Amino acid sequence: MIKIMEKDEIHAVSQYMWGAFQDDKKRTTPPYHSLNDVKKSLLKVFQCDGDEIIGVYIEGNLEGIALVLLEEKNKYFSVQGPYIQESDLYTKISTEIMNYLELSFKGFKCQFGTTKTNLLSQEFLKANDFICTDDTIQMSISPDRLTSIEIKQDIQLLTEDRMEEYRVFHDIQYHDYYWLSDRIYEVMNQWKIHVLLENNKIVGSTFTRAKSGGSGEIYGCEVLEPYRNRQVMAELFYISTKSWMDEGVKEIVNFVSEGIVSESASLVGYEGYDTYMCFSKNEI
pLDDT digits (tens, 9 = 90+) for 117-143: 999 999 999 999 999 988 999 999 999
Give tens-digit pLDDT for 48-87. 999 999 999 999 999 999 999 999 988 999 999 999 999 9
- The order of strands in the sheet holding 2-4 is 2-4, 52-58, 61-71, 76-83, 109-114, 271-281, 131-141, 251-256, 215-223, 201-210, 191-198, 154-157
Domain extents in the chain: 2-128, 140-277
Give tens-digit pLDDT for 207-259. 999 987 789 999 999 999 999 999 999 999 999 999 999 999 999 999 999 99
Q: Indicate the CATH number of 140-277 among 3.40.630.30, 3.10.450.50, 3.20.20.20, 3.30.930.10.
A: 3.40.630.30
Distance (Å, rounded) from C-alpha 61 to C-alpha 15?
A: 13
Confidence class of residue 145 from pLDDT cuts 50, 70 and 90? Answer: very high
Class of domain 2-128: alpha beta
Distance (Å, rounded) from C-alpha 150 to C-alpha 153?
A: 9
Q: Do domains 2-128 and 140-277 have the same CATH topology?
A: yes
Distance (Å, rounded) from C-alpha 190 to C-alpha 201?
A: 24
Distance (Å, rounded) from C-alpha 20 to C-alpha 115?
A: 13
Distance (Å, rounded) from C-alpha 42 to C-alpha 16?
A: 12
Quote the Cα angle for 90-278-177, to 5°: 155
Q: Give, in order, the Cα–Cα distances in Å from 97 to each of 33, 84, 221.
A: 26, 11, 34
Contact between 216 and 206 (Cβ < 8 Å):
no
Confidence class of residue 35 from pLDDT cuts 50, 70 and 90? Answer: very high
Q: Give, in order, the Cα–Cα distances in Å from 258 to each of 136, 166, 223, 239, 254.
A: 6, 26, 16, 21, 12
Check pLDDT > 90 for residue 104: yes
**277: how many CB neighbours lie within 10 A of its CB?**
21
